[in-house]
Structure 1
Amino acid sequence: MTRLLEASMKHCNEICGIDQEVIGDYSRSEYLRRAINEKRCIIQQTKKEITGFLIFTNDFFENCFISLVIVKPSERRKGVATALLAFYVELAATPKIFSSTNQSNISMHKVFETAGFIKSGFIENLDEGDPEIIYVKIKN
């Protein structure tokens, strides 16, 4: 059984562990802890474990913004990211939901396209030589 739900502090260590597995360190632990505490983190959970999480804000030019989608490496290519995006879109407080990824992150571009997001622009100079591509999903 798989559930999508708002993360609570009891999930924090497991979320931080997944993030560490993906990026190689615990540098975002405080950021993740704050997002969970502020009720801005959604998880996908099975009976055994958390398979992925999504962090969002509601202050991107008065629109919702998905700032982070992380899937446990062993659970990739199983629809976890797409499910997290779809679940959040339904909950989002604004009709436009934005997100972004580096130009080099081909797998995330495919996830956005599968989830019905469209390219909306780009930002240079965040990561040298790898522009950030902005996506938007407009709720019907």
Structure 2
Amino acid sequence: MKSLEMAQINYLDEIMKIDEEVIGNNSRREYIMKAIEEERCIVANDYNLIVGFLIYDTHFFDCSFISLIIVRHTERRKGYATSLIKCFINISPTKKIFSSTNKSNHGMQEVFKANGFIQSGFIENLDEGDPEIFYFKSK
């Protein structure tokens, strides 16, 4: 059964497994733990298995910013990222919502487009040779 909910601190290890699978290390553990403690992390569950998560904040010019959307490799293209985004849009504390992804991440670009986000600019020099594309959606 698919469900979405705010992450609980006891989910941290399972969320970290997903993050480590994607980036190859546990360098974001403190960041993710803080997001959970501050109730800024939403998880997607499927039969009591966490399959993905979304982290957001409101420090981007006082607008909501989705900083991470990560879904297990084995669970991609099943609608989890879209479900997480739609859930967040419903609870977003601001009308303006931003996010970003690398120019090389075509899959995430398609997810943003499919969910009504529009390109809003880009920044060079964050990842060498792979500009960051920013996306925007109004609630």
TM-score normalized by the length of structure 2? 0.97
1:43 aligns with 2:70: no
Separation of aligned partners in 1, 2:66 and 2:120: 14
Instruction: Please tell me the residue identity of whatever aligns with 2:24.
Output: G
In the TM superposition, what whole-angstrom CA distance separates every residue of 1:110-134 from its partner, at most 9, and x where no partner exists? 0000111100011111111111000
1:58-77 to 2 correspondence within 5 Å? Answer: 58-77=58-77
Answering whether residue 127 of structure 2 is matched by residue 127 of structure 1, we say yes
Shift of 1:95: 0.8
Aligned-pair distance for 1:48?
A: 3.1
Q: Give the counterpart letter for 1:23 in structure 2.
A: I
Tell me how far apart the structure 2 counterparts of residues 68 and 35 of structure 1 sit (CA, whole Å): 11
1:17 is the counterpart of 2:17: yes
Same amino acid, percent of matched pairs = 54
In structure 2, the residue matched to 1:100 is: 100
Aligned-pair distance for 1:78? Answer: 0.3
Question: Which ranges of structure 1 fall in alignment gaps of 5 or more residues?
Answer: none
Once the two structures are superposed, residues 29-54 of structure 1 have per-residue CA deviations (whole angstroms, 9 ceiling, x without a partner) of 11111111111100001223001000
Residue in structure 2 matched with residue 5 of structure 1 by the alignment? 5
Secondary structure in structure 1 of the residue aligned to 2:19: helix
Name the count of aligned residue pairs.
139
1:26 to partner: Cα distance: 1.0
Equivalent-residue separation in structure 2 for 1:20 and 1:39 (angstroms): 21
Partner secondary structure for residue 116 of structure 2: coil
**Structure 1 residue runs of 4+, over 4 Å off?**
none
Q: Matches of 2:29 and 2:55 in 1, distance apart? A: 13
Per the normalisation by structure 1, the TM-score is 0.96
Q: Which amino acid aligns with 1:45?
A: N
State whether structure 2 residue 86 is matched by structure 1 residue 86: yes
Q: Which amino acid is the alignment partner of residue 29 of structure 1?
A: R
